Amino acid sequence: MADQIPTAEPNSPEARDVRYHLHGYTNARLNEQIGPMIIDRGEGVYVYDNEGRPYIEAMAGLWSVALGFSEERLVEAAATQMRRLPFYHSFTHKSHGPMIDLAEKLVTMCPGNMSKAFFTNSGSEANDTAMKMVWYRSNALGKPEKKKLIARQRAYHGVTIAAASLTGLPANHLSFDLPLSGILRTGSPHYWRDMLPGETEEQFASRRAAELEELILAEGPDTIAAFWGEPVLGAGGVVVPPATYWEKIQAVLAKYDILLVADEVICGFGRTGKMFGCETYGIKPDIMLLSKQISSSYLPISAVVANERVVGPIMDESARIGTFGHGFTAGGHPVAAAVALETIRIIEERDLVANAAEQGERLRNGLAAMADHPLVGEVRGVGLVAAVELVIDKQAKTALEKPGLLGAAVNKALQDQGVIGRAMLDAVAFCPPLIITAAEVDAILTKFRAALDTVASELGLAVPA
């Protein structure tokens, strides 16, 4: 109840939140006790709580606010489209200008010789839709047995029933009776955590590819339809693939005629220092899944972009059956599509992909300079996304006795310093807006170092000068 929040007035936003709102990704009973942080407004890379305290939003909200929190061009794009056509759909041969323009833009800008775009409202919906498309395609090809999907440990592909089954994180399965059957799991690309003694990055990549091939052969290549992968694992810990990993994985998939689905929900639109993560790592996908930065998260929109190898059989099957019986009321919503188009224009006009590469290098170099700190086990990242793995024992690569305690402590200390990061067990992630400046990056680094020192001192560890 609200009166469990010691400092909250009965009708305060904090108390009413506790009284009426069930949060996602939150310990609900703990929220009753401590209440939420209420974010009131945003400007640039900063957000402000309801008492006026500023925070650098070093996670761009949820990996997603590419243009910061006060881009007037997006506000105007939404208002203009709202006045002209506030809603329409794409069912039964209907369409509208913003959806057509955005489909053309995505198909022509995405790597992989793409053919069509299909619109959804979130990364989870995009993943679910791609799964259904893959199964529909197998039936269209007369291969009803070719339905199994391979995803990786620590992957994150969303939280709807099907997408959560692809996700490889325990919290998304426990007590939900997930995953669904037909989802196969292969190892994560985390070299630092999973390498064998003396194993090089390339040897590790070769081992992961060999394990994938062994799984395919054990299950039967004719039963496996697609492999799902983020170019860089996001919510699983910002895991950057080792050298030659994607080259070797793609060779195995090609050998057994297995589709490659690239989940670019976090990586897309500049996050990795190129427009798409597929370009960063030489990935040639059959399907790309896009969301988050596509509209700077000002409005919900996502897309499934697929090549003719995928789309052709689906279109043929729709003719045989009479329809492609899938879609969403708000899929390709005209206002969201207009905002997405304007977001992409701004990213291109202001060369924010180059800024992400430049400021990301500054961020990663600054974090790497903290490698001698007693709490830092690994610094990893690419472009403008990074993570620091926290440890107590560097050699054993272990943190506190309960997983996640150390990450939560450092993340809280960082928030107390005025920076919002994200703890993923015992890693702290950084994914600031693409518009961030060098001075703002330096502020994140200074405050993160202070947070590390605070927690180290609390644990009785010596802090280097």
Q: What pLDDT, in 10s, does the model give residues 252-301?
A: 999 999 999 999 999 999 999 999 999 999 999 999 999 999 999 999 99
Tokens coding 336: 């969201």
pLDDT tens digits along 17-28: 999 999 999 999
1: pLDDT strictly greater than 60: no
**Contact present, 444 and 419 (Cβ < 8 Å):** yes
Which tokens belong to 272? 């990795």
Strand partners, 287: 261, 306
User: Rounded to the nearest 5°, which phi and psi values hold at 399?
Assistant: -105, -145
Residues 226 and 189 in one domain: yes
How far, in Å, CA of 26 to CA of 37, rounded?
12
State which residues form the domain around 358.
37-70+351-458
Q: What is the pLDDT of the chain when averaged over all its residues?
A: 97
Q: Quote the distance between the C-alpha of residue 12 and its chain's center.
A: 33
pLDDT digits (tens, 9 = 90+) for 366-381: 999 999 999 999 999 9
pLDDT at 460 over 80: yes
The distance from CA 326 to its chain's CA centroid, rounded to whole angstroms, is 24
**In the block, which residue shows the tokens 């006790």?**
33
Residue 22 lies in a domain: no
Give the pLDDT confidence score for residue 89 in this predicted structure: 98
Is the Cα torsion angle 244, 249, 253, 256 positive or negative in sign? positive
pLDDT in the model for residue 6? 60
- For residue 388, what are the β-bridge partners? 379, 428
The CATH number of the domain holding residue 420 is: 3.90.1150.10
Q: Is residue 41 in a domain?
A: yes
CATH number (domain holding residue 203): 3.40.640.10
User: Domain check: are 42 and 103 in the same one?
Assistant: no
> Is residue 455 very low, low, confident or very high in pLDDT (cuts 50, 70, 90)?
very high
Which residues sit opposite 390 in a β-bridge?
A: 376
Pair (371, 257) in one structural domain: no
- The residue count of the chain comes to 465
Q: What is the pLDDT of residue 63?
A: 98
Residue 260, beta-bridge partner list: 227
What pLDDT is recorded for position 374?
Answer: 97
Say if residue 234 is in the same domain as residue 211.
yes
Report pLDDT for 465: 74
Q: Do residues 193 and 200 make contact, with C-beta atoms less than 8 angstroms apart?
A: no
The structure's pTM equals 0.96
Residues 21 and 146: their CA atoms lie apart, in Å, by 42
Residues 411 and 276 in one domain: no
pLDDT at residue 2 tops 70: no
Residues 278, 384 within the same domain: no
Q: Which of 349, 379, 411 is the last residue of a domain?
A: 349
Q: What is the pLDDT of residues 165-212, one digit of tens each?
A: 999 999 999 999 999 999 999 999 999 999 999 999 999 999 999 999
158-187 core/surface letters (b: 16 or more CB in 10 A; e: else): bbbebbbbbbbbeebeeeeebbeeebbebb
- Alpha carbons 298 and 292: distance in angstroms, whole number: 9
Q: For residue 21, is it within any domain?
A: no
Whether the CA torsion 75, 346, 330, 129 is positive or negative: it is negative
Same domain, 51 and 125: no
Lowest mean pLDDT among 3-12, 30-39, 113-122, 242-251: 3-12
User: Do 95 and 174 lie in a common domain?
Assistant: yes
Please check whether residues 279 and 342 belong to one and the same domain: yes
Q: Does residue 11 sit within a domain?
A: no
Structurally, the chain folds into a number of domains equal to 2
